[in-house]
Structure formats: structure tokens, C-alpha cells
């Protein structure tokens, strides 16, 4: 069952790009922008990650933490984050548990993992679910919602 606007963010854990355990409960009381993307070091995914990086301070100013999620390994995330100086959290979902938990499906052709962004408010309530294979527009949509919260 896919997470939708108005739902409470479910509790989850995963490994971050440093191999450390990430627990969503550590972010209770904080706004989050969680974005699922297909693959590290691909053109659109890199553009999207770099757009989040370039506007990261805007997200922080609005009180939100950015979290990127893909099925890539911790090692792949380390290289990706280092190469593009990504200041935000990347989570490895190699077993696709988070994709299932959030209900992120593949693209229309079924070939690529989906690209979906969620904005969660300080109370843990989902305020935005944006599904589009276009990368950069996710940043604009997330900032728009955060500015109204």
C-alpha cells in the first residue's frame, strides 16, 4: 500500500553512506524530504542529487533534512556522495524494503525503479508525494510545500 498525503511516516531503518545505522525515529519532530531515485551516477539521478545539493541550505533554512534513497550499495553511495560533494544523507535500500514500505513502484515501462519525493512535516505527517521521472522538478515541488508549512 503506497504512502499518501495525510499518512503518518512509518518507522524505518537502513544503512547510510558511511555504513552507519539510520533510524527514522532520530528525526521525530523534524521536517524531512525523502526522495527515492533509480541509480547513483546516472545522468538524471546525478542532476537531481546535485540540485538538492545546490539548494541544500534552502532546505535547512526551512528546517528540513534531505534524505536520498536508492538500491545502490553503501560503497556506491560513498563514491557518489564524495564525487559530487553531497551534504545530505543517502540510504542504501539494497533489499528494496524501503521501496516496498513507501509503495514506490517502477517507472511506466517497468524498467527503472521509480523516482518519488515525500515531504514530511514536524509531526511526521506526509504533506507531499510527488512522482515524476524528471529529476529537477522534485526540488521545486519540495521547496514549495516546505514554504507553506
Active centre residues (catalytic): 45
DSSP letters spanning 59-85:
HHHTTEEEEEEES--HHHHHHHHHHTT
Helices within the chain (DSSP H only): 43-54, 56-61, 74-83, 97-102, 137-148
Q: Which residues contact 147 (CB under 8 A, 6 or more apart)?
A: 62
Amino acid at each position: 500500500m503506497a504512502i499518501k498525503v495525510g499518512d503518518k511516516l512509518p518507522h524505518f531503518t537502513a544503512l547510510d553512506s558511511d555504513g552507519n545505522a539510520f533510524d527514522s525515529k532520530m528525526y521525530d519532530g523534524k521536517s524531512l524530504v525523502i526522495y527515492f531515485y533509480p541509480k547513483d551516477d546516472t545522468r538524471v539521478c546525478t542532476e537531481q542529487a546535485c540540485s538538492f545539493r545546490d539548494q541544500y541550505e534552502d532546505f535547512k533554512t526551512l528546517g528540513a533534512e534531505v534524505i536520498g534513497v536508492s538500491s545502490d550499495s553503501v560503497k556506491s553511495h560513498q563514491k557518489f556522495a564524495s564525487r559530487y560533494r553531497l551534504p545530505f544523507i543517502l540510504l542504501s535500500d539494497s533489499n528494496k524494503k524501503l521501496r516496498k514500505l513507501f509503495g514506490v513502484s517502477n517507472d511506466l515501462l517497468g524498467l527503472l525503479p521509480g523516482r518519488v519525493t515525500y515531504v514530511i512535516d514536524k509531526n511526521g505527517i506526509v504533506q507531499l508525494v510527488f512522482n515524476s521521472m524528471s529529476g529537477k522538478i522534485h526540488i521545486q515541488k519540495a521547496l514549495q510545500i516546505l514554504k507553506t508549512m
